[in-house]
Amino acid sequence: MKRRYKNDIERYGSDILNSDELQHAYDQTHHRWSTVGEHTLRVAAASLAICYALRKIHVSTDTSAVVKGALCHDLGILGRYDKYKSNKECSRQHPADSVEVARRLVEDLPEKTADIIERHMWPAGHSKAPNSLECMIVSVADKYAAIKDLVQGSEIKHTGIKNKVHDFLGGDTRSD
C-alpha cells in the first residue's frame, strides 16, 4: 500500500519533488511543529488516500491533478516572513503565489491544477470555493494534514517520537 502512494507521487510529481522550492520547503517551519515540506507530503498522501477510497466506490479522479496540486499548494508560502506583512495577508495571498511557483515547475500547468492550488484554503482566506472533485479533495486533505502536523508535532515535543512522514511514504523523497 505504501508503495502505491510513493509510486503515484513520484510518477506525477517528480519534477516538483526534485525542485529547489521543495528542497527549501523542508527548512521552513509550518503549523508550529512541522515544515512546509513535510506538510506537503502529508497533503499529497491524504489526497491520494481519498482518491483510492473513491475508486473503490467507482468514482474516478484525476490523479495527476491531485498530486501536482497537493505538492504545489503551499510552495508560495516559502519566505513568508519576508514576503507578507501579516498572517492574514499570508493566508490570503499564498495560494496565488503558489500558482506562480507551480507554473514555473510544471510545464503547461492545466487550469484544473491551478484551481486546486488557488482554492485550497477554502473556506478560509477569502478563497473561492472548490470547483472540481479534485479541488475539494486537496482542500479537505489540507485541513486533515494541518491537524496531523499540529497533533503529531506536539507528540514529538512531548514524547520524543520522531516524525514518520517519510517512512510512511517508503523512504526519503528528497533528492540529496
Residue whose CB is less far from Fe ion, 85 or 158: 85
DSSP tag of 132: S
CA distances from 155 to 34, 41, 143 (A): 11, 19, 18
Site for Fe ion, rule CB under 5 A: 74, 142
CB-based contact 113:65 (threshold 8 Å):
yes
Shortest distance (Å) from residue 142 CB to Fe ion: 4
Distance CA 150, CA 147 (A): 5
Helices (runs of H) and strands (runs of E) counted in the chain: 9, 2
Residue whose CB is less far from Fe ion, 54 or 146: 146
Shortest distance (Å) from residue 39 CB to Fe ion: 6
Residue whose CB is less far from Fe ion, 109 or 138: 138
Shortest distance (Å) from residue 68 CB to Fe ion: 15
Residue whose CB is less far from Fe ion, 133 or 146: 146
Shortest distance (Å) from residue 21 CB to Fe ion: 14
Count of CB atoms situated within 10 Å of the CB of 173: 20
